[in-house]
Amino acid sequence: MSSRLRDMALRDQRKALFGDFPPSPRKASPCPEGEVIYGCLNRSVVRHGNIVTKYTKHPDGMGVNDQPNEVLALQFVKDHTTLPVPKVISSDWDRITMEYVQGQTLKEAWPSLEYRQRSEILVQLKDYLAQIRSLKGLYLGRLDGQGVVVPSIMTRSGSPFPTMTEFHDWLVRPPKRIREQSVYWHQITTQLGVEYPIVFPHGDISPRNIIVRDGHIVARLDWEWAGWYPEYWDYVFAMRGLDNVDWETLGSHIPSPFTSRHDLDSRVTILIKHWLRHFEQLIYQILLNTVVPLLSLESMRNNGLETFEGKVLTVPAAVIFSTLPHLYSPGVNMG
C-alpha cells in the first residue's frame, strides 16, 4: 500500500477508535531481541527464553492507557475464574511481557486430534465459556475505559453504554454515506431485544487463540478485545469463518462449546452477520471504482492486486482491510 493510503488509513482508524480527540502519538521503544513467533502489520510476539513479549509499533500502542486492556482482562480472569491464562510479568503502553506456554494452537492441533480428544477439549472449553459468561457487568465496554470496540472489517469504538438499547442503537447506525438505508436500519433497531445479559466474553474466541497440550487446553490467549458485552458476543465472532475449526456444526457430532444457537434465535446476530457481508461486498466495489484507478500497473502489483491487460482481476482481502477506513473520508464518492 502506498504511503498516502497508509497515512489516510491510520488517520481514520485513530478517529474510529478515539473520536475527535485521539491521544498524542508516541514513539515505541526498540523491539526486544529474540525469536519472532508471530508478526502481523505493526504487531509482533517475540520469545526470549521462557517468556514472550507482545509488542506493537503503532503510535497509539495497545490502547488509550499506559496499562493495556489485555493486562486488565488477564488479571480479572485469573482472579474470578479457573481459566488457564499466561502470567503477566510486566507491561507498558506498547507491550506486554508474559510467561511462554508450551503447546500448539488448537487450529494447528485439530486435524491430528482423535475424536475423544476433540470431545474432551470442547467439554473443557464449554466449562471455561460458562465461567466467563457467569460474570455479570453493569455497563457495555472494555475494562480500560475505551468503551465498546467492534473488531470487524472496520474496527470502530463507542463510549461505554449504560443500557443494551443505547448499545444496539449505536451498533446498527449506518455510515454517513449510506443513510439512504436508514429506514432498513431503523426497522431492525426497533426489533432488537434488551433482555440480553451483560457478560464478560473473550471477544475473539478463535482456535488460533487456544493453546493445547496432551489433549487439554493449557492457555487462552489474546484478551485484548475482552470486556462487558451482550451474551451473544463470543458466538457471533466465532462464526466469522477465520479458522479451520467449524464451531457452528460441531454440535451435531460432539459437544458444542456454545449453550445457545444465537445464529438462530438472535436477531442481533443475524444483523451483525449481514453488516459484515454487506460491507465486504460494498467495499470491494468502492475499492475498484475509487482507489484502483489511481494506481499504476506497477503500484497495483506492489499492492498485491492481480491484473491482466491493465484490468484488476482480484483484490486481496488484506488490501481491502487496510484500505477500507479512508473510503469513508470526505471527498470519496460512494457511487
Distance between CA atoms of residues 312 and 186, nearest Å = 36
Rounded (10°) CA dihedral 53, 58, 64, 70 = -30
Strand segments (E) across the chain: 35-40, 43-48, 51-56, 88-92, 95-99, 104-105, 141-142, 148-150, 156-158, 198-199, 210-213, 216-220, 227-230, 306-308, 311-314
Residue bearing cell 449504560: 162
318/262: higher pLDDT: 262
Written as nine digits, the cell of 170 is 449505536
With a cut of 70, say whether residue 188 has pLDDT above it. no
What average pLDDT does the structure give for the chain? Answer: 72
With a cut of 70, say whether residue 191 has pLDDT above it. no
Q: Any idea which of 36-50, 56-70, 139-153, 291-305 has the lowest mean pLDDT?
A: 291-305
Write out pLDDT tens, residues 151-177: 654 456 778 899 988 887 777 665 554
Distance between CA atoms of residues 318 and 285, nearest Å = 15
Write out pLDDT tens, residues 106-115: 989 988 988 8
pLDDT confidence of residue 74: 97
How deeply is 49 buried, as exposed, middle or buried, from its count of CB atoms within 10 A (0-12, 13-18, 19+)? exposed
Longest CA span, the chain: 60
Q: Which helix (H) or strand (E) holds 18?
A: helix 3-18
Q: CB–CB of 242/107 below 8 Å?
A: no
Q: Any idea which of 31-35, 171-175, 245-249 has the lowest mean pLDDT?
A: 245-249
Indicate left, alpha or beta for 304 from its phi (over 0: left) and psi (-120 to 50: alpha). Answer: left
